[in-house]
Structure 1
Amino acid sequence: MTQTHTQDYERADGRRLRLTYAEPDGAVRGGLVVLHEVGAVTDAARLLVASLAVEGWLAVAPDIGSATGGADQGEGAGAALLAATDTTLAWLVDRGVRGDQMGVVGFDLGGTAALVVAANRELGAAVSVGGRGIEVPAAPGLPPLIDIVGGLASPWLGLYGDNGDEAGQAEIDKLKELAGRSKIATNVVRYAGASHRFDADPDAAAEAWQRTLSWFDAHLR
């Protein structure tokens, strides 16, 4: 497996952020920001970073809690997320990645974050695998996802398990309907019976992984 590295990155404007990244062995196809779940960068996030590097992407996960010099803490989770993402994108630019070759991907709460970024930043592509907060905010400072999905700025793919219940199915179907009103490429796929983390359904997880790779293949050129 490709090795991951950690760097304390500082921009000229004073913003600082701890980054975990992995580089492909061959040519770099583009750069992907990996947004982690609650807390710091986990082993699961490191595995995702390494796996994306194997596929040819320069993948980097910001430790959002380590960010300094960005948004004021009182502005909430959304502002902190966007500030950390901007700093990470600047790191990719420093590494020679062009704007149309940049994307963002997140799992679980990171999937929620990826949609927030896709609604506020013009990137080549974004993917959310799972994620909470569709109708009720997942955290203070984050909007309900149904409020922002109709105005996306980046092509977005949403992959969701419905937990096998009618409420979960209805939420995801509503998100898909609203995403379809966006003026940019979107797709929402619902996996019947899978959990939001895809833990209990390896077939759904494998299919979601292939859809993720295909989305970036199609939109990051």
Structure 2
Amino acid sequence: MATKPSAFAVHLFTGTGAVFALLAMLGAADRNWLSMFLWLGVGLIVDGIDGPLARKVDIKKNAANWDGSLLDLVIDYLTYVFIPAFALYYSGLLPGAMGMFAVFMMTLTSVVYFADTRMKAKDNSFVGFPAVWHMPLLVLFVFQPAHWVTLVVVVALSLGQFTSLKFIHPVRTVRWRRFNLPVMFFWFLLAAWSVAVDMQPPGAVEAALLVSSLWLLVAGIVMQIIPERNEGSSAA
């Protein structure tokens, strides 16, 4: 079947994520963290919009010569793994050998995770930590913890990719979505505030950022612990 321009345009729209990833990398290279997180945020918006657009134009049927899932994975690796690893090393959060070990862990474990065909559960949650390193990186930038704390966080999340623990997709995981999705939006507002004030937000914003981050991290695990009731209200 011939490729429809509207469907191919969605592929191009998805592909702009690579451009925004490059701009984020240039910001990181200059240690301009505001620029880096700004472009990562723009890329995240593209990532959130392109899926519904692809389904609307039936992209698998009308632009079948290009694999949208593969395109997503390439861009996601750049945006969520490679650039955060680069930024972690050059930010000074983990100096020297510790920093090199941490970024090796991030990049190696994440590229293997991205190739794992079991990374998505039936409920659209992720199985294992989904390698969204830009989120813990921002929290680490705000709190500037001791080096050993940062190293423990990186190692724990890296190894967490190879577990059966679930991590929610705030949009696509239906269970508790009415709560988790607003928490996700709230987190983005707090993150934007933190970036805008050079990673030195007020104490209340710091606390809210930490609490919302921890909830988004453990929500899927809590769901595994608490059995789902066979009721229509369980989708809430």
Q: Same fold (TM over 0.5)?
A: no
Q: TM-score if structure 1 supplies the norm length? A: 0.27
TM normalised by structure 2 equals 0.26
Please say which structure displays the higher CA radius of gyration. Answer: 2
Give the structure with the larger strand fraction. Answer: 1
